[in-house]
Amino acid sequence: MAVRHQLIRRPPQAVWAVLADPTRYGEWVVGPSESTPLDAAWPEVGSRLRYTVRLGPWSTDGVTTVRHREPGKELELEASFKSLGTARIFLQLRPWGEETLVICDEHPLRGIGATLHNSASETLLQLRHRGMLARLARIVEEEDQVIRRA
């Protein structure tokens, strides 16, 4: 199970605001090149996003579904790629003084991705999380700087 954490220098509400905005998904998640909300209620349980992942000439579409949420605290997603199966992504926001400790826990859930899961794929997930959580931190912290300058 790939678990990684990131300290973000903003309160949980600021982090949640980015997680709860379906139009920003492609900004902080490593992989998708574009995303479209399929339901207006994101991030309500059962709401979905469609996205495209491109790698050179290869591309595939996926759908992410919200499976659990506690606003400002937890967001649990199931990402589905037709041929690869699904993955569980759990984001937990913990207050850390006036900052937020974000914990990301992801693992393959169904399909070939789960069947072939091994230490090499675990290493790739760790690298993905490092980039994803760093992007999330940058977006949330930069947004705060823009608000302060206005």
Residue 150 has pLDDT above 50, yes or no: no
Q: What is the CATH number of the domain that holds 31?
A: 3.30.530.20
List b or e across 10-38, with b for residues whose CB sees 16 or more CB atoms inside 10 angstroms.
bbbebbbebbeebebbbebbebbeebebe
Q: What is the DSSP string of 2-39?
A: EEEEEEESS-HHHHHHHHT-GGGHHHHSSSEEEEEESS
More confident residue, 17 or 146: 17
Nearest in space to 80 (alpha carbons), one of 97, 65, 59 = 65
Residue-wise pLDDT for 83-131, tens only, equals 778 889 999 999 999 999 999 998 888 877 666 676 776 667 677 778 8
Query: For helices 119-149 and 12-19, what crossing angle results, to 10°?
Result: 110
Sign of the alpha-carbon dihedral angle for 105, 70, 61, 59: negative
pTM of the model: 0.85
Domain hosting residue 52, numbered range: 2-149
Residue-wise pLDDT for 21-72, tens only, equals 988 888 888 777 678 889 889 999 999 999 887 777 887 888 999 999 999 9
Total domains, the chain: 1
Rg (CA), the chain: 15
Output the CA–CA distances (angstroms, integers) from residue 101 to 29, 62, 95, 130, 147, in the order listed: 17, 28, 6, 14, 22
Q: Going edge to edge, which strands form the sheet with 99-110? A: 2-8, 99-110, 85-96, 74-81, 58-70, 48-55, 32-37
**pLDDT recorded at residue 114:** 63
Alpha carbons within 13 A on the beta-carbon side of 145: 7
